[in-house]
Amino acid sequence: MSNKKLTGLLVLTACGAAGMALAQQPAPPAPAAPAAPAAPPPDVKIETVNIAPGIYMLVGRGGNIGLTVGVDGAAIIDDQFADMVPKIRAAVALLAAEPVKFVINTHLHGDHTGGNDGFGAAGAVIIAQENVRKRLGSDSVNANTGAAVPARAREALPVITFADQAKLHFNDDDLEFTHLPNAHTETDIVIRFRKANVVHMGDMFVGGFPFIDASNGGTLDGLIRAHETVLASIDNDTKVIRGHGPLGNKAELQAFHDMLVVVRDRIAKLVRAKKTQEQVVEARPTKEFEEKYGGTNFNAAQWIGRAYVDQKRALESRRGK
């Protein structure tokens, strides 16, 4: 794949002060491990779901992948784990003659970017919000386990980054990337296929209670705002790809958003009344939603605990201003 060909296909636009930047080559490559899971790869098959002409959702292990195939070739949104790369390639090869040209990352997490090393090394151009490159390019600590997380290999880093918005004109559609700040993380984008009327929301929309990754800049208030931005731009026919879980639609995103608003407001009220985390968990502000959203990522008590910490921090930061 020649660079000349790529230049012809890729037109990026940006708005906002910082705009889009072609990332500089990083300083001397440091040895680094990709975000491969510790366990050996289980026997996982990729299920390919056709959701619009030339657009597919690939379900395997890790985040749901969006795939577009057509006259310009193949591009994927997210790439699961490192050990899934051969299976993802095989699934794409059933639909496209050439290898993946572009990988778009919805956000930084390893179950969505673990395949970056493999696809990047094979020549795919990785595109992401600039905080993905910043976060993946530096050593960090896992907030849950305290384990050191080394910076990712240079092949895994996005080479085209942007601050607020960008577009990829590919397969006769316009893919619009919009940064939604401090939502699931500080690195999230929503990807919208303007003509096909498909959006990929990454982990801002999942099947259960959402993970708010505070250590990577995520906030509950930001997540709710992100939903409002997306809801205002889609219609009842829009196909909505969740980060995890079945294909969704606007009504389901609206219900997910409304649930979060109810629970957030209840927790915020209890925080303002100076209740402790234990008391807030006991009050079960998620009560009527637990059957539908509980039992996926978190049980209700764990999730409320995280949301309590989030809302306490939000209140303190409002008071500090």
| Residues binding Zn ion (CB under 5 A) | 109, 203
Q: How far is the CB of 132 from Zn ion (least distance, A)?
A: 11
The CA–CA distances, whole Å, from 210 to 223, 268, 271 equal 9, 17, 20
Q: How far is the CB of 190 from Zn ion (least distance, A)?
A: 14
Q: How far is the CB of 309 from Zn ion (least distance, A)?
A: 18
Cβ closer to Zn ion: 126 or 280? 126
Cβ closer to Zn ion: 83 or 203? 203
Beta bridge partners of 70: 73
Q: What's the CA gap between 189 and 202, in Å, rounded? A: 8
Q: How far is the CB of 25 from Zn ion (least distance, A)?
A: 27
Cβ closer to Zn ion: 78 or 155? 78
Angle at 40 between CA 99 and CA 96, to 5 degrees: 15
Please give the order of strands across the beta sheet that includes 73-77.
20-22, 160-162, 125-129, 100-104, 73-77, 65-70, 55-59, 47-52
Q: Do residues 14 and 163 make contact, with C-beta atoms less than 8 angstroms apart?
A: yes
Please report which residue ranges of the chain form alpha helices under DSSP H.
Answer: 3-9, 85-93, 110-113, 116-121, 130-136, 220-231, 250-272, 277-282, 290-293, 300-320
Tell me which amino acid residue 191 is. I
Q: Do residues 177 and 195 make contact, with C-beta atoms less than 8 angstroms apart?
A: no
Q: Do residues 140 and 3 make contact, with C-beta atoms less than 8 angstroms apart?
A: no
Beta bridge partners of 74: 69, 100
Cβ closer to Zn ion: 131 or 171? 131
Cβ closer to Zn ion: 73 or 210? 210
Cβ closer to Zn ion: 85 or 201? 201
* Structure token pair of residue 79: 């790439």
Within 10 angstroms of residue 18's Cβ, the number of other Cβ atoms is 12
Q: Rg of the chain over CA atoms, in angstroms? A: 19
Q: How far is the CB of 135 from Zn ion (least distance, A)?
A: 12
DSSP β-ladder status, 189-193 and 198-200? antiparallel
Cβ closer to Zn ion: 68 or 187? 187
Q: How far is the CB of 203 from Zn ion (least distance, A)?
A: 3
DSSP β-ladder status, 125-129 and 160-162? parallel
Q: How far is the CB of 216 from Zn ion (least distance, A)?
A: 9
Q: How far is the CB of 39 from Zn ion (least distance, A)?
A: 19
Cβ closer to Zn ion: 72 or 310? 310
